Amino acid sequence: MSTNTTAGGRRAPQRLLTGAALALAGAALLASCKQETGKESAAAPAAGPQAPAAQPAAPAEAVSAEVAALSAEQLREAASKAYQESRLYAPGGDNAMEYYLALRDKEPANAGVSSALVDLMPMTVIATEQSRDRGDFVEARRLLALIEKTDSSYPAVQRLRTSIASAETEAARRAEQEQLTAEQEAQRRQQLERERQEQQRLAQEQAARDLAAQQQAQAQEAARQEAARQEAARQEAARQEAARQEAARQPAPAPTPAPSRAATAADLRAISTPAPRYPPDALRAGTSGEVQVEFTVAVDGSVSAARVVRADPPRVFDREALNAVRRWRFEPVPGPVTTRRTINFSPGQ
């Protein structure tokens, strides 16, 4: 492992939605879902005294062939654009979830992609339930295929599969009883499509607003921490200046020597910089990355006030990087020195 500042490969996508943001998006989707639960779904053909029972359709493909054929770089760009335009799980063949699933097939060890898919799962489950309750079973099966490909052991998978099949059976039964005309069926399908598009548009816009608010809050917190650090540095400089002025006013039998220059990062001479421990999970997964740490070297050469400035991927190597830096020792310096070092993690080193 090296502490040189280098670009440690392509960065994985950051985690996109926190639990709070997902809860807000889920609440908005559930509210809109309640308006649909009383509606009836698919009808039987107009001709004949009775319509045959609907047969379950074949499972939908989670990722279209066109999406799967894209390169990893194209998938990254398409997923980012889909997020920006609030196409989180729809329309089929052009949404963030499909792009990330295809990218995960090409880069199984990409932790950022897996994290993004986990964040999208709750919203996709709610959208699946809404499609099922509207009687839009084609859309419900497409969304269920996305969920199953993301995590076939996800707790909601079996429940959704069973409830969709039951809803299709019940819809077929109602269709046999009601015998809708061809005109009524066409009007019903048009209304279903309008309602589905409107619900998905509103739900995705709300999720995008929640994400923007989360990112803004993170940026404000980072700015606040930086302002606090700068203020502390300013106060320390003012204190040192006041001490120098006070010393200059004191009478002395000999001329006061010129004040020594302030210590800088260039004055640091490392005595011991033990390498960090490689996290076992990251080592097994072959995950690489880097962590930039800001720390202060006290006059005795010990390290204090270490914090992570940047991590790629986030929260994977942070703890081991901080533990290692806190054990570093330097030669004594005239005054405290705050500096930054980047620690690279590569399983091949």
Task: Please report the pLDDT score of residue 182 as a whole number.
Answer: 78
Task: Please report the pLDDT score of residue 245 as a whole number.
Answer: 86
> Stretch 121-135: mean pLDDT, rounded?
96
Residue 132 shares a structural domain with residue 276:
no
Residue 163 shares a structural domain with residue 64:
yes
Task: Please report the pLDDT score of residue 261 as a whole number.
Answer: 63
Supply the range of the domain harboring residue 297: 267-345
| Domain's final residue, options 184, 219, 254 | 219
Task: Please report the pLDDT score of residue 305 as a whole number.
Answer: 85
> Stretch 222-251: mean pLDDT, rounded?
87
Residue 134 lies in a domain: yes
How many domains would you assign to the chain? 2
> Stretch 66-82: mean pLDDT, rounded?
96
What mean pLDDT, rounded, does the chain reach?
Answer: 82
Residue 118 shares a structural domain with residue 62:
yes
Residue 253 lies in a domain: no
Lowest mean pLDDT among 42-56, 73-87, 221-235, 317-331: 42-56
259 or 202: which carries more pLDDT confidence?
202
Residue 25 lies in a domain: yes
Residue 238 lies in a domain: no
Q: What is the Cα Rg of the chain in Å?
A: 30
| Domain's final residue, options 192, 219, 246 | 219
Task: Please report the pLDDT score of residue 254 as a whole number.
Answer: 53
Residue 46 shares a structural domain with residue 158:
yes
Residue 336 lies in a domain: yes
Residue 204 shares a structural domain with residue 324:
no
Chain segment 91-105, per-residue pLDDT in tens? 999 999 999 999 999
pLDDT surpassing 90 at residue 212: no
Residue 274 shares a structural domain with residue 212:
no
3-state secondary structure string, the chain? CCCCCCCCCCCCCCCCCCHHHHHHHHHHHHHHHCCCCCCCCCCCCCCCCCCCCCCCCCCCCCCCHHHHCCCHHHHHHHHHHHHHCCCCCCCCCCCHHHHHHHHHHHCCCCHHHHHHHHHHHHHHHHHHHHHHHHCCHHHHHHHHHHHHHHCCCCCHHHHHHHHHHHHHHHHHHHHHHHCCCHHHHHHHHHHHHHHHHHHHHHHHHHHHHHHHHHHHHHHHHHHHHHHHHHHHHHHHHHHHHHHHHHHHHCCCCCCCCCCCCCCCHHHCCEEECCCCCCCHHHHHHCCCEEEEEEEEECCCCEEEEEEEEEEECCCCCHHHHHHHHHCCEECCCCCCEEEEEEEEECCCC
Residue 276 shares a structural domain with residue 213:
no
Measured at the alpha carbon of residue 266, what is the angle toward residues 260 and 271, in degrees to the nearest 5? 105
Residue 211 shares a structural domain with residue 273:
no
Confidence of residue 184 (pLDDT cuts 50, 70, 90): confident
Confidence of residue 253 (pLDDT cuts 50, 70, 90): low
Residue 59 lies in a domain: yes
Percentage of residues in the chain having pLDDT higher than 70: 79
Chain segment 12-70, per-residue pLDDT in tens? 344 333 333 333 344 433 333 333 333 333 333 333 444 444 444 445 789 999 999 99
Q: Residue for token digits 């489950």? A: 125
Determine if the peptide bond prior to 259 is cis (ω within 30°): no
Residue 160 lies in a domain: yes
Quote the pTM value.
Answer: 0.41
Residue 201 shares a structural domain with residue 278:
no
Residue 148 shares a structural domain with residue 79:
yes
Task: Please report the pLDDT score of residue 256 as a whole number.
Answer: 53
Lowest mean pLDDT among 13-27, 71-85, 242-256: 13-27
Query: Which CATH number goes with the domain that contains 339?
Result: 3.30.2420.10
Residue 251 lies in a domain: no
Residue 209 shares a structural domain with residue 276:
no
Task: Please report the pLDDT score of residue 260 as a whole number.
Answer: 55
Residue 173 shares a structural domain with residue 299:
no
| Domain's final residue, options 219, 254, 285 | 219
Ranked by mean pLDDT, the top range of 11-20, 139-148, 192-201 is: 139-148
